[in-house]
Amino acid sequence: MLSDKTAIVTGASRGLGRAIARALAGQHCRVALVARDRTGLEAVAGGIDGVEARAFPADLSKPEEVDRVLSDIAAWAPVDILVNNAGLGYYRPFLEHTPEEHERIVDVNVRAPIRLCQGVLPGMLERGAGHIVNIASDLSFTPLANMAVYAASKFALRGLSLSLMKEFKDRGVRVSLINPGMIDTAFNDGEEGRLGARSALQPDELARVVVDVLTQPGFQMVDEVTLHAVHQDY
């Protein structure tokens, strides 16, 4: 079902984004890999065989770079799928955050997905088909101390997603929201693979969920799904 389609995956240089890109490529879907780390993106692209994968380095905290990368990708191929996976957060007491950190979290986690959605939706609507998958967090509805600004940004992304679902579901474009719990990546503990499957989701497993969401039959869709490891400790 994903053969010959083109997907944008943000945060694709490592962790969950890398796993999602590989999983989509395994379904014969072209992937546009977006992140700040050019070297990481090129390594991911170089490891994908049998389908085209291209690195599009960009700092999504900067609106002009979001616009540039959308233009570059549009010149490469029409976008059928957008996976807003890139995320930024700090586990730190609220009063220890700086205003600059607040802004960067909101820029990456909220403003960039909004701008990316606005960039791809016109083409999807013109073709009468498309799918946006936003990766939020279980913190979008479960409070956790020392993650206030990150949680607020994911509340916002969840609200955006649920609203877009209703606005575009009758126009051929699906919008789905995935709320993962803790994931065993460098985002959470500084080193991938240390938390283990009992206490954290594994990136490859979550990437398979993304593929499942994208390959539902035409008469059904996934609005929102939440999943976490059985022994997650919050």
In the chain, what are the domain boundaries?
A: 6-227
Per-residue pLDDT tens for 61-73? 999 999 999 999 9
Closest CA to 159 of 132, 185, 177: 177
Report the chain's mean pLDDT, rounded to a whole number: 93
**Average pLDDT of the residues in 142-161:** 94
pLDDT band at 195 (very low <50, low <70, confident <90, very high): very low
Amino acid 20 reads I
- Name the residue with tokens 């909220």: 110
Parallel/antiparallel/unpaired status of strands 6-10 and 30-35: parallel
| 3-state SS, residue 228 | coil
Please, which pLDDT band fits residue 188 given cuts at 50, 70 and 90?
very low
What is the average pLDDT across 10-29? 97
pLDDT of 198:
52
**Which residue in 228, 223, 189 sits closest to 205, CA to CA?**
228
* Residue 10 pLDDT exceeds 60: yes
CATH of 6-227, one of 3.40.50.300, 3.90.1150.10, 3.10.290.10, 3.40.50.720: 3.40.50.720
pLDDT at site 185: 78
Q: What is the pLDDT of residue 68?
A: 98
Q: Which of 153, 180, 179 is nearest to 89 (CA)?
A: 153
Q: What is the mean pLDDT of residues 128-137?
A: 97
**Please, are residues 21 and 193 in contact by the beta-carbon 8 Å criterion?**
no
| Cβ-Cβ contacts under 8 Å for 100 (sequence gap 6 or more) | none
Q: Give the lowest-confidence range in 42-51, 161-170, 195-204.
A: 195-204
Chain centroid, CA 81 distance in Å: 11
d(CA 203, CA 16): 5
Contact 10, 57 (CB under 8 A): no
List Cα–Cα distances, 145 to 86, 89, 202, 234, in angstroms.
Answer: 22, 13, 24, 10
150 part of the active site: yes
Q: Given pLDDT bands bounded at 50, 70 and 90, which one contains residue 143?
A: confident
Q: Tell me which residue has tokens 């616009």.
A: 67
Q: CA–CA separation, 13 vs 179, rounded Å?
A: 21
Name the β-bridge partners of 83.
9, 133
Total-model pTM: 0.94
Residue 192 has pLDDT above 90, yes or no: no
pLDDT, tens digit (0-9, with 9 covering 90-100), for 70-120: 999 999 999 999 999 999 999 999 999 999 999 999 999 999 999 999 999
Looking at the chain, the whole-number percentage of residues with pLDDT higher than 70 is: 94
